[in-house]
Amino acid sequence: MSFHTTSLATVVQAAAEPAGGAAIGEVLLASAMAGVATAVLGWLGYTHRTGRSQVLARAGAVAERTSGMPAWAALPGALAGVALLVAVLGMYWDIALHIDDGRDAGPLANPAHYFILAGLFGIFAAGFLAIVLSPQGSRPSRGAVRVTRGWYAPLGGVLMICCSAFSLVGFPLDDVWHRLFGQDVTLWGPTHLMLIGGAGMTLVGMSVLLVEGGGARALEREETATREGGAGTPGSRTWAFFMRMRFLGIAGGFLVGLSTFQAEFDFGVPQFALILQPALITVAAGVALVSARVFLGPGAALWAVFYFVLVRGGLALIVGPGLGETTPHFPLYLGSALVVEGVALLVAVRRDPVRFGAIAGAAVGTVGLLTEQVWTHVWMTLPWPADMLPETLAVGLVTGIAAGALGGWVGAMLRAPQAIAKGEDTPRVAPASAPMIRRIALPGVCGLVVAAVVGYGLMTSTPQGLSADVRLADVAGSGQQREATAEVTIRPASKADDARWLTVTAWQGGTKLHVDRLEQVGPGRYRSTEPLPLHGDWKTLIRLHTRGELATVPIYLPEDKAIPAPAVPAPASFTRAFQGEKEFLQREAKGGVSGWLWGVGYAVVLGIAAALLVALAWGLARLAAPPAGPQGPRRPAADRRSPAGLRPVGTS
Residue 637's pLDDT is what? 39
Other beta carbons less than 10 A from residue 386's beta carbon: 10
Residue 218's pLDDT is what? 73
Mean pLDDT value of segment 128-135: 96
Instruction: Give the neighbor-by-neighbor strand order of the sheet with 539-546.
Output: 514-517, 501-507, 539-546, 549-556
Task: Give the least confident one: 96-100, 117-121, 573-577, 626-630.
Answer: 626-630
Residue 226's pLDDT is what? 57
Question: For residues 40 and 344, what is the distance between their CA atoms, to the nearest angstrom?
Answer: 48
For residue 109, what pLDDT band results from cuts at 50, 70 and 90? Answer: confident
Residue 562's pLDDT is what? 82
**Percent over 90 (pLDDT), the chain:** 68
Residue 147's pLDDT is what? 93
Residue 411's pLDDT is what? 96
Please name the helix (run of DSSP H) or strand (run of DSSP E) that holds residue 24, with its range, or none. helix 24-49
Question: For residues 456 and 580, what is the distance between their CA atoms, to the nearest angstrom?
Answer: 18
Residue 644's pLDDT is what? 37
- Which ranges in the chain are annotated with CATH 2.60.40? 467-580
* Residue with the larger pLDDT of the pair 564 and 24: 564
The answer on pLDDT for 20 being more than 80 is: no
Please name the helix (run of DSSP H) or strand (run of DSSP E) that holds residue 278, with its range, or none. helix 276-296
Residue 238's pLDDT is what? 78
Domain 467-580 architecture: Sandwich (2.60)
Q: Say if residues 396 and 366 touch (Cβ distance below 8 Å).
A: yes
The answer on pLDDT for 229 being more than 80 is: no
**Phi first, then psi: what are they for 148, rounded to 5°?**
-155, -175
Cβ burial, residue 62 (10 Å; 0-12/13-18/19+): middle
For residue 241, what pLDDT band results from cuts at 50, 70 and 90? Answer: confident
CA distances from 547 to 7, 456, 501, 637 (A): 41, 12, 10, 68
Most confident among 217-221, 282-286, 345-349 (mean pLDDT): 282-286
Other beta carbons less than 10 A from residue 432's beta carbon: 16
Residue 638's pLDDT is what? 38
The residues, ordered by sequence, that sit 6+ positions from 648 with a Cβ below 8 Å of its Cβ are 48, 49, 50, 51, 52, 57, 136
Alpha helix stretches (DSSP H) within 381-540: 389-421, 436-439, 441-458
Residue 58's pLDDT is what? 96
Q: Say if residues 624 and 411 touch (Cβ distance below 8 Å).
A: no
Residue 395's pLDDT is what? 98
SS3 of 581, please?
A: coil
The answer on pLDDT for 421 being more than 90 is: no
| DSSP codes, 69-84 | S-HHHHHHHHHHHHHH
Residue 202's pLDDT is what? 96
The residues, ordered by sequence, that sit 6+ positions from 192 with a Cβ below 8 Å of its Cβ are 170, 174, 184, 186
Task: Give the least confident one: 235-244, 423-432, 509-518.
Answer: 423-432
For residue 272, what pLDDT band results from cuts at 50, 70 and 90? Answer: very high
Residue 181's pLDDT is what? 85
Other beta carbons less than 10 A from residue 465's beta carbon: 9
For residue 137, what pLDDT band results from cuts at 50, 70 and 90? Answer: confident
Mean pLDDT value of segment 191-218: 91
For residue 296, what pLDDT band results from cuts at 50, 70 and 90? Answer: very high
The answer on pLDDT for 422 being more than 80 is: no
**Mean model confidence pLDDT for the chain:** 88
